[in-house]
């Protein structure tokens, strides 16, 4: 790799900090554990340990989504770049240093700039300078913001033919149906007329295959799930992790995996000044992961103002990367 002058790299990076509310784990957990069923917010999975555990999950033989999507990107990325077109502004919801993002940027046709949107300023800054080093003729704009909330998009200095967002990893499946449609609607507003969205979706398939992916034999996903209780204990809670077990069933009526922590016994847990009672076999939902068929996802996209113009799948139709374009006014 060519070594670039650090000053020139910094001149091509713009940091825009919108000072997003980062939330409060203890208060959000206390509120969620009073619901029925009890819930914990999945955004708190990713402390340093949680991030390492998730990386390990993506390498597991049972966990097909990451390698399947990466295979699709490897095979079809130049077709995706042609759909995006030349001189586009590329927007990623995330920190933007993953292999899938690099494949897309490597294939992109003279992009006018790249905008990264993430809630962690430290991750954003590191990613922005890393990308600016890798792509020496591309401006990188790092926006510290909560991308689940409405926001205005800063524009690169170079003229842009269109704006196209990228949302890899089937993360859209973590939203409920209504949340996903609302999110897609905000993306349509963000990219504007003529804009697009390249998004990964996990497809419906044999339930056994799906459930194995979230209940691996080594117990890595279980450790990842239980780690959210460890994080709560760091705030003063007193969860005994040995009294909970991980289970992630596919709920067919909802078309989704539900990550659950199941209480092994009748117990009470203290969070701050509150006591939360759990009965034996009662569960806490920590995350949803919806699976889609193409017709269902196309209908959701249309409801949000997009039309599905192209999709790429693996040979088993386990996963798809969809290209959506904003409907003409």
Residue 8's pLDDT is 62
C-alpha closest to that of 305 among 203, 198, 201, 183: 183
Is residue 240, in this structure, part of any structural domain at all? yes
232 and 101 in one domain?
no
pLDDT digits (tens, 9 = 90+) for 73-86: 999 999 999 999 99
Q: Is there a single domain that holds both residue 56 and residue 69? A: no
- Clarify whether residues 216 and 191 are in a common domain: no
Residue holding tokens 């003279």? 110
Are 39 and 89 within one domain?
no
Task: Specify whether 254 is located in the same domain as 201.
Answer: no
Cα–Cα dist 101/98, whole Å: 5
Residues 179, 312 within the same domain:
yes
Question: Can you give the C-alpha Rg of the chain in angstroms?
Answer: 21
Q: What share of the chain is helix, strand, coil (3-state, %, to 5)?
A: 40, 25, 35
Residue-wise DSSP of 48-63: HHHHHHHHHHHTSSS-
Question: Mean of the per-residue pLDDT values for the chain?
Answer: 94
Pairwise pLDDT comparison (150 vs 242), residue with the higher score = 242
Percent of the chain with pLDDT over 70: 97
Helix (H, G, I), strand (E, B) or coil at 211: helix
Whether residue 155 is contained in a domain is answered as yes
- Prediction pTM value: 0.93
In this structure, is residue 298 part of a structural domain? Answer: yes
Contact 279, 306 (CB under 8 A): no
Distance CA 112, CA 87 (A): 5
The answer on 314 and 230 residing in a single domain is no
6 in a domain, yes or no?
no
Judge whether 170 lies within some domain.
yes
Gap between the Cα atoms of 124 and 171, Å rounded: 18
| Structural domain of 126 | 64-205+291-326
pLDDT reported for residue 262: 98
Whether 191 is in a domain gets the answer yes
How many angstroms separate the CA atoms of 104 and 111, rounded?
11
Q: In the predicted model, is pLDDT for residue 60 greater than 80?
A: yes
Q: Per the omega criterion (within 30 degrees of 0), is the bond before 29 cis?
A: no
Q: pLDDT confidence of 296, banded at 50, 70, 90?
A: very high
| Residues ≥6 apart with Cβ < 8 Å to 55 | none
């Amino acid at each position: 790799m060519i070594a670039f002058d650090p000053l020139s790299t910094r001149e091509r990076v713009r940091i825009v900090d919108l000072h997003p509310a980062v939330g409060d784990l203890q208060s959000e957990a206390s509120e969620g554990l009073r619901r029925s069923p009890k819930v914990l917010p999945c955004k708190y999975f990713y402390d340093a340990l949680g991030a390492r555990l998730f990386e390990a999950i993506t390498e597991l033989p049972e966990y097909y989504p990451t390698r399947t999507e990466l295979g699709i990107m490897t095979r079809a990325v130049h077709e995706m770049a042609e759909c995006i077109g030349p001189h586009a502004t590329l927007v990623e919801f995330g920190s933007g240093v993953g292999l899938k993002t690099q494949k897309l940027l490597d294939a992109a046709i003279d992009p006018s700039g790249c905008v990264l949107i993430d809630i962690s300023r430290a991750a954003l800054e590191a990613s922005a300078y890393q990308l600016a080093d890798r792509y020496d003729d591309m401006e990188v704009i790092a926006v510290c913001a909560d991308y689940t909330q409405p926001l205005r998009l800063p524009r690169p200095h170079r003229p842009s033919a269109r704006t196209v967002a990228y949302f890899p990893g089937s993360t859209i499946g973590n939203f409920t149906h209504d949340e996903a449609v609302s999110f897609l609607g905000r993306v349509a507003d963000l990219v504007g007329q003529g804009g697009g969205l390249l998004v990964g979706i996990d497809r419906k398939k044999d339930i056994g295959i799906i459930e194995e992916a979230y209940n691996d034999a080594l117990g890595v996903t279980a450790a990842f799930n239980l780690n959210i209780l460890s994080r709560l204990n760091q705030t003063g809670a007193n969860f005994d992790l040995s009294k909970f077990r991980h289970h992630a069933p596919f709920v067919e009526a909802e078309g989704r995996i539900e990550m659950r922590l199941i209480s092994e016994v009748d117990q009470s847990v203290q969070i701050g000044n509150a006591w939360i009672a759990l009965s034996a076999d009662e569960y806490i939902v920590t995350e949803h992961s919806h699976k889609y068929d193409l017709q269902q996802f196309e209908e959701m996209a249309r409801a949000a103002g997009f039309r599905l113009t192209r999709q790429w799948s693996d040979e088993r139709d386990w996963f798809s990367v969809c290209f959506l374009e904003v409907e003409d006014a």
